[in-house]
């Protein structure tokens, strides 16, 4: 790269990191946290003996997994105003990403719950635990260990998916890169720089995932 390109990189890295810290990371954390709550509720509904709840959960998962995330984002931000519901860009993105995470993570959590041996339920019942108490104190803690790797992958994927929020004017990492590139026409340089920042974030999260898995391995009987 020539001197002017290096200078552009030097001037751009600060705003891009700001976009990541103030936009991408909060959007990821908020969406994932809300999405996991949704996923847990949907997974429990999916396992429910009540047919209506189970049907609703299956329908929700089918719709979320069967439609593009970008379409879901556009429906919330661009289509809802036609029904009189206007939501600002950032909350719209949080809602869309949370619903999307909920649909995908629900099956992960359901599979993790089902992976716990049935004998655990029976053992808890013999000491007087009810269904809810057994689920909270016995089943979910064991299911957590099983679900950590796939849920961590979902979290890392969400970091990259937040780039779609730029399409509804959320000022995050990719949006910052677009704003800087527009007057300079240095799209290749800025987009490569944005990709590098995404990559570093994902590397850090992958490292944290590995540490968490090793920590949880201490509590797994061998």
The pLDDT tens digits along the chain (222 residues) read 555 778 888 889 999 999 999 999 999 999 999 999 999 999 999 988 888 999 999 999 999 999 999 999 999 999 999 999 999 999 999 999 999 999 999 999 999 888 888 888 778 778 878 777 888 778 888 888 888 889 999 999 999 999 999 999 999 999 999 999 988 888 999 999 999 999 999 999 999 888 887 776 665 544
- Are 8 and 188 spatial neighbours (Cβ–Cβ below 8 Å)? no
Instruction: Tell me the pTM.
Output: 0.89
pLDDT at position 222 is 42
Around Cβ 90, how many Cβ atoms within 10 Å?
A: 18
Distance CA 159, CA 20 (A): 10
């Amino acid at each position: 790269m020539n001197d002017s390109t290096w200078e552009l990189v030097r001037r751009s890295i600060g705003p891009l990191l700001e976009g990541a810290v103030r936009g991408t990371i909060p959007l990821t954390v908020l969406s994932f946290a809300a999405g996991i709550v949704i996923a847990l509720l949907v997974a429990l509904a999916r396992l429910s003996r009540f047919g209506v709840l189970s049907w609703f959960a299956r329908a929700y998962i089918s719709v979320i997994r069967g439609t593009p995330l970008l379409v879901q984002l556009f429906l919330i931000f661009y289509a809802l105003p036609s029904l009189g519901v206007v939501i600002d860009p950032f909350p719209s993105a949080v809602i869309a990403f949370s619903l999307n995470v909920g649909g995908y993570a629900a099956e992960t959590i359901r599979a993790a719950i089902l992976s716990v041996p049935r004998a655990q339920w029976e053992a808890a019942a013999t000491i007087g635990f009810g269904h809810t108490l057994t689920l909270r104190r016995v089943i979910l803690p064991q299911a957590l260990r099983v679900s950590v790797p796939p849920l961590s992958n979902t979290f890392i994927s969400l970091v990259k998916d937040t780039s779609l929020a730029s399409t509804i004017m959320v000022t995050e990492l990719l949006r910052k890169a677009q704003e800087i590139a527009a007057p300079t026409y240095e799209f290749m340089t800025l987009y490569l720089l944005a990709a590098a920042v995404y990559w570093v974030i994902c590397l850090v999260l992958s490292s944290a995932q590995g540490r968490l898995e090793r920590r949880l391995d201490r509590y797994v009987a061998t």
